[in-house]
Structure 1
Amino acid sequence: MRDLIFMDCEPDVLKEDIRAGKKAVFERLVKQCETYFSVELPKSHPPSSTTFMGIAMANLALAYILTDEKRYLYEARRWIMTAVNYPHWGNAHLVDVDLSAAWILFGMGISYDWLKESFTQDERKAVKEKILLQGGRMFAFKVETEGSGWSTNYWQNHNWINMTGLSAAAYALVKEGEDVQQWIDSARANFDFVFSVMPEDGSDYEGVVYWRYGAMWLYVYAHLLKEREGIDYFETSGFLRNSFEYRLYQAAPNLEEQIGFGDAHDRRSGHSTAIYYKTAAEYKNGYAQKLGNLVRDEFLEREAELSKVKPGILPECFFEVLFYDPMVEEKEFDDLPLEKFFDDLGLYVKRTSWERDAAHFSFKCSNPGGRKQWSWLWKLKEEKNYNCFGLSHQHPDNNSFLFNYGGHFFAIDDGYNRTVKASDHNVILVDGVGYEGEGQNNIWKNYTPEMKGEIISCELNDDYSYLAGETAAVYKKELKMNKCRRHLFSKSGSSIFFMIDELVSELPHTYTWQMYSDVYPDVYGDCYRYSIGNAEMDLFVVSEREVVMDLNENTVRAVMTTQEPDKFTENHMKGIRISNKELVEKQSFISALVPRSAEADHQEIEKVQCDGAYGLSTGHDERVDYLLYSPSGYLVFMDTPVKAKLAHIEVENNKISKILELVND
């Protein structure tokens, strides 16, 4: 075991590295530390989050270890002693026992371990006693609340951050002979379970923003445990190994912004150089190395300026210096597949290329929290009577889709929201409403096991992609929905995405197809044309019945944290809604998203009907593709009988060349 906690090489080795391969990340650390000297630290705890204080201590401590410059030591002591003098850590909500306290425990624990020999006896005593006090408060709360709250919300960022902070503080104090081994053991047991129940595909139901804020601490704890105990979660955890792919495929084509499923404060709070560099180092992952360098060299300042998530990306320089391995060679993303399916979360992604102006389509339908979590939540409820249903950052977005093209967002999500509703997403509404329990922060807390969305079919091959998501079980019970199924179809190499919605209830309803965008469309019959900059998207929505259309603006506003009630996010979404005119029990819609550059010709797309079916056609006289939906499961096209509910038919020179029977039930 090395002398300094969290540092997995000797300081002298690191001092050599920062003059060579780690020079760029070290300069980041120096630049960040220079900003701390001018910060006026309040004598009383500020009426806001103090997460920034913990990471500042760690950055300054590392700068001193690497440079021996006393000014970094003195500045670290200023930050540390300011926090020591606060009687409590945190503001307004879960004071002393949540994120603000955890970040400071982490930073102060590491800083104490690294700098204690440079403290006066009084300072050393005060810091140690404060860590013991705050860590004791955190640990006592964890034990007292076991079975509810963050202590056993094993899939949530609060659990990961709080337990990592407690663990780092404990490793610092146990070397001093303090009786804190139970803190270490508790964290070990917690993370043993966490890593065993995280999805192997690396997906995160909380979404990209909370992935960068919370999942980072799974990597941090794994690093800490490997360095202290020699236990290697990087070797055994599928989540740690694969989670970078989840993040990469949820990057917008420009790679700078993210796709916003789940709570997303903005479009630029998604990058974590800490995770990228740790992934690159542990797995020799050149793709992660490339994205980490791209963020550091190109995106860093804009992310820091525009992100609403604090402390933000700049203070992560502490982790960059320790995690970055300059020997890992970058790999080009062009080597990677253009589509990816994350089975646990029911998340499908397709992009037309790895160019920054590509089309990017993302579609999601899942069990609450993902398949593995949903199963374990009920096991914990039945076996231990634990209530771990802390799903407050997930949205009612089953069968929702998001679309980006040419660097612009054409189909968007609601962002950050504390009163989540289906009506804020690109999903089907029934009589204007959606899910059971919607309109609050965590709508799944009173669900039953069968109340879930699910991908019921997924076929990805060299010719086409087809998926179907079913989500009737989560709609309000009084609607008596039997089927709410969205089919997705796209041909390989094509940027056109088709969706077919099948809706069946025991009662007659108004069914509404809706989509939100950054802009309103121009209307040309069944075609709704969206234009943003040099990019356009035509939206086609057709039905077998007469429909009505309206445009609406939906403003979603939410306070981001109870610690700072005056700070909020606000998203102005431009919506289109298309509904059946007469109440019916069964309804269907066929829709298509057709992107193009402003100077390109418009695709020829038309509504078509044949015996027993209707749909859309694309193409020209020599080659026409038809996507047809038959409610009865039987249709006749060009005198050819087809036994299928959903069929894709290719016609060349007025002759059928290929029939795909996509759905036969």
Structure 2
Amino acid sequence: MPKKKYLFINHDIDELRKEIQTIRKPLYKRLYEVCRLYANQPLPEKHPPQSITFMGMASLNLSLAYLLTRQKHYLDEAKRWIFTAVKYPRWGHAHLVDVDLSASWLLFGLGLSYNWLKDELSLQERTLLKDKLILQSNKMYDFVIQMQKDGMEWPVQFWQNHNWINFTGLATAAYALGEEYEQSKQIIDHAKKNFDFVYEVLADDGSNYEGVVYWRYGVIWLFIYAHLLKYTEGIDYFKKSDFMKQTFFYRLYQAAPNLEEIINFGDCHDRRSGHSCALYYKIASEYTNNYAQYLGNLVREHFLYREQYESGVKPGILHEAGLEFLWYNPEIKEKRFDDLPLVKYFEDLGLIVVRSSWEQDAIHFSFKSGHPGGKKQWEKSYELFIDKGWKTRGLAHQHPDNNSFILHAHDSYLAIDDGYNRTVKACEHNVVIVDGKGYPNEGHNDIWEEWKQDCVSEIEEFVNEDDLVYFVGEAHKMYDPTLQLTRFARHVFYTGKDYFVIFDDLNSDQKHTYTWIMHTDTTPNVRYDEVRTFEYENGPAKMNLYSVIPKESDYKFKNTVVRAIMTTQEPDKFRETKMRTIHIENKEKSNSMCFLNVISIRKAFDEENIQIQRIDRPHMKGVIVKKGEDEEVYLFSKSRRIEYQTVKADAEVVLLQYKNEQLVKFMVKDCNKFSIDGNELIKEYIKKTVIKSCHSVSV
């Protein structure tokens, strides 16, 4: 008699039973420990006023524990959870009841339980569970058909986590029911068509505009569905999708250096909801990704419970125990991150990450400037709108954060983001606002629905060579058109030292007050030296903000509070972020404005080791940064007239690097003539780098 093949389990069940005593012993421990928690948890007879996604994962874990051990108490407990959910007349609370996340998590978990435990259930129990799965599948599939007809909601929002989760839950139930359900094949085919498109149009570089928290919440379902298809029909999306191959690196580079915390661009409920051991193990297994195996083990062994209990996202990491067990491949070796590059550019999203090292107290600077939702999504979604009239983006988790940055160093957050927000505003990010205004239509959580196709931001320049990182984000098209901005370019420099130079160039056809904004956890001390300095202290780290240009400016501090309901299913549950905000403004309104700031970072008990000197001339602005025997001169000229000592250039930007007062290296941007001591040098090397507009040369 052939062995029974269980849906979603790609191992021989007898082999797994042996491995729980050997190579899978730690994973089995994870599973039985979480099952112990379920045994002590009371279950409400009526649907609670909250999400019930956790019930789907509990059913999965308990059912798997029974398959592995044949211990009857796991079967009894699984049935307690399963039939409590079955008795609820509706799945979901408050919003899109029966046709959204709670329903789909239950279709997934209870669908697998039906397949795994069917032979252990009485006829009455089997019928109850089967009929409930069919009822809920019908409700959700009817919704899919209607919404795709109307071009609305998650069935056509291909880049959003609801689409991935809901179609996966629906498809899992259809596979579990098989011929017992007359619509199984239609649903399976419909899900395939959906995911054929989804995998094709996701960002090739693996980036995810919804942010790290929704990456861990939503992207895992892309892997769940791909796993389901690989081991039911032999369709391998893992090989077809560049996004799937690369997305681990997006997550890794948006980890803070301590690896526990996150860089929280987009909607992030907190600073810790970022890990999924199960997903790391699946990536490690599918792609022989040794880095993912290392991170998965690190999280499981050290971060697991703090992640669960400080996380604002449910059901949370503990309840992925069954997936961890099934996806862990003990043959994959670990590899630390030390040989990975310290600078990473995710071109689709316009995300640039700069690290000083892979040590846990490293400096980590993330910068974002790109198309809403990413370039590929933006372009493909407009094609669908033109072709079908569908509004497919669903950018509710995208923030107005172009040209914003987040800085984490020495185990502390220094320049921070608002995180989770349902009334997004540019002023709650580290950007420049104009006359107190940011983007049009701000104040709710999807301001992009009626956005024009050419209203995008982008990285204009990116250089990463010879210990120089330089990039430019351009974002003026994102701003309220009544402001008549024609330029908002943010230039960022990093030369491997413990400081960043940020130059902002703004122009408008009107005169404005321009406000440079940065948010932090703490309020700074203010020093009035040659350059006004704001010194921030935050536990083990310090940060100095040197306000170099304009020489005369107004500044003020304020408290910024962002309060947001986390889910419409639990309207009394909210998340609040309190930020200390600095505003630096021009004293008199002007058509154009330049801000030049230097941000230096050090350990809390170290003395500052750099000196700052302003250069302020009618045709040129700049700053000299001295550190020991090194001196760097950053020069900017709107009129493209750079003159410093014996250096002349018809350039917008020049960087000069000196050691012991000798010029050793220079960088120029958009330059035709460059001379030192009257000798022209630009022609000599511009031939070698003709396709570049920015050149860095050692003297």
What is the TM-score with the length of structure 2 in the denominator?
0.93
Query: Match for residue 372 of structure 1?
Result: 376
Q: How does 1:45-60 map to 2 (within 5 A)?
A: 45-60=47-62
Query: Match for residue 204 of structure 1?
Result: 208
Query: Match for residue 356 of structure 2?
Result: 352
SS in 2 for 1:497: strand
The structural deviation recorded for 1:99 is 0.2
Deviations 1:496-550 (A, max 9, x none): 1111100000000000111001111111132111111231111112224521111
Query: Match for residue 90 of structure 1?
Result: 92
After TM superposition, the structure 1 stretch with the greater mean CA deviation from structure 2, 378-387 or 616-625, is 616-625
Letter of the 1:618 partner, please give it: V
Query: Match for residue 385 of structure 2?
Result: 381
Separation in 2, partners of 1:197, 1:396: 23
Deviations 1:241-290 (A, max 9, x none): 11000000000010000000001100010001111000011111110001
The structural deviation recorded for 1:659 is 2.4
2:518 counterpart (506, 512, 515): 515
Letter of the 1:430 partner, please give it: V
Letter of the 2:518 partner, please give it: M
2:152 counterpart (144, 148, 170): 148
Query: Match for residue 653 of structure 2?
Result: 646
Separation in 1, partners of 2:50, 2:254: 31
The structural deviation recorded for 1:18 is 1.6
Deviations 1:5-33 (A, max 9, x none): 10011211111222211110110000000
The structural deviation recorded for 1:603 is 2.7
Query: How many residue pairs align between the two structures?
Result: 664
Separation in 2, partners of 1:560, 1:241: 30
Contact 1:427 1:515 in 2 (8 A): yes
Letter of the 2:22 partner, please give it: A
The structural deviation recorded for 1:663 is 4.6
SS in 2 for 1:334: coil
2:328 counterpart (324, 328, 343): 324
The structural deviation recorded for 1:2 is 7.1
Separation in 2, partners of 1:620, 1:315: 50
The structural deviation recorded for 1:640 is 2.4
Deviations 1:387-410 (A, max 9, x none): 113100010000000000110000
Letter of the 2:178 partner, please give it: V
Deviations 1:111-147 (A, max 9, x none): 0000011111011111101000000100110110012
Contact 2:104 2:168 in 1 (8 A): yes
Deviations 1:340-368 (A, max 9, x none): 01010000001111111110000000101
Q: How does 1:153-164 map to 2 (within 5 A)?
A: 153-164=157-168
Letter of the 1:565 partner, please give it: P
Separation in 2, partners of 1:304, 1:86: 27
Separation in 1, partners of 2:566, 2:444: 14
Give the 3 Å change call, closer, same or farther, for CA 232–140 of structure 1 in structure 2: same
SS in 2 for 1:145: helix
SS in 1 for 2:26: helix
Letter of the 1:203 partner, please give it: S
Kindly indicate whether residue 434 of structure 2 is the aligned counterpart of residue 435 of structure 1.
no
Separation in 2, partners of 1:51, 1:76: 15
Q: How does 1:185-584 map to 2 (within 5 A)?
A: 185-491=189-495, 493-525=496-528, 526-544=532-550, 546-584=552-590
Contact 1:2 1:9 in 2 (8 A): no
Separation in 2, partners of 1:539, 1:87: 58
Separation in 1, partners of 2:113, 2:466: 54
The structural deviation recorded for 1:639 is 3.3
Separation in 2, partners of 1:542, 1:338: 28
SS in 2 for 1:124: helix
The structural deviation recorded for 1:621 is 7.3
SS in 1 for 2:144: helix
4+ residue segments displaced more than 4 Å? none
Query: Match for residue 641 of structure 2?
Result: 634
Separation in 2, partners of 1:70, 1:623: 71
2:66 counterpart (64, 67, 71): 64
Contact 1:105 1:131 in 2 (8 A): yes
Letter of the 1:530 partner, please give it: Y
After TM superposition, the structure 1 stretch with the greater mean CA deviation from structure 2, 463-472 or 289-298, is 463-472
Contact 1:643 1:661 in 2 (8 A): no
Contact 1:2 1:8 in 2 (8 A): no
The structural deviation recorded for 1:556 is 0.3
Separation in 2, partners of 1:92, 1:177: 28
Separation in 2, partners of 1:621, 1:640: 23
Separation in 2, partners of 1:646, 1:271: 41
The structural deviation recorded for 1:162 is 0.2
Letter of the 1:594 partner, please give it: S
Contact 1:610 1:635 in 2 (8 A): no
Query: Match for residue 590 of structure 1?
Result: 596
Separation in 1, partners of 2:550, 2:406: 25
Query: Match for residue 623 of structure 1?
Result: 630
Letter of the 2:506 partner, please give it: L
Contact 2:277 2:300 in 1 (8 A): yes
Separation in 1, partners of 2:656, 2:591: 29
Give the 3 Å change call, closer, same or farther, for CA 150–73 of structure 1 in structure 2: same
Give the 3 Å change call, closer, same or farther, for CA 584–50 of structure 1 in structure 2: same
Separation in 2, partners of 1:517, 1:362: 15
SS in 2 for 1:229: coil
Query: Match for residue 660 of structure 1?
Result: 667
The structural deviation recorded for 1:386 is 0.9
After TM superposition, the structure 1 stretch with the greater mean CA deviation from structure 2, 609-618 or 199-208, is 609-618
Kindly indicate whether residue 39 of structure 2 is the aligned counterpart of residue 37 of structure 1.
yes
Contact 2:548 2:598 in 1 (8 A): no
Contact 2:134 2:181 in 1 (8 A): no
Separation in 2, partners of 1:314, 1:663: 53
Letter of the 1:477 partner, please give it: P
Separation in 2, partners of 1:652, 1:282: 49
Letter of the 1:51 partner, please give it: T
Separation in 1, partners of 2:622, 2:337: 36
Contact 1:408 1:535 in 2 (8 A): yes
Contact 2:476 2:485 in 1 (8 A): yes
Separation in 2, partners of 1:347, 1:234: 24
1:132 counterpart (131, 134, 140): 134
After TM superposition, the structure 1 stretch with the greater mean CA deviation from structure 2, 462-471 or 425-434, is 462-471
Letter of the 2:630 partner, please give it: R
Separation in 2, partners of 1:339, 1:60: 43
Sequence identity, in percent? Answer: 48
The structural deviation recorded for 1:175 is 4.8
The structural deviation recorded for 1:622 is 4.2
SS in 2 for 1:353: coil
Letter of the 1:55 partner, please give it: M
Contact 2:550 2:596 in 1 (8 A): no
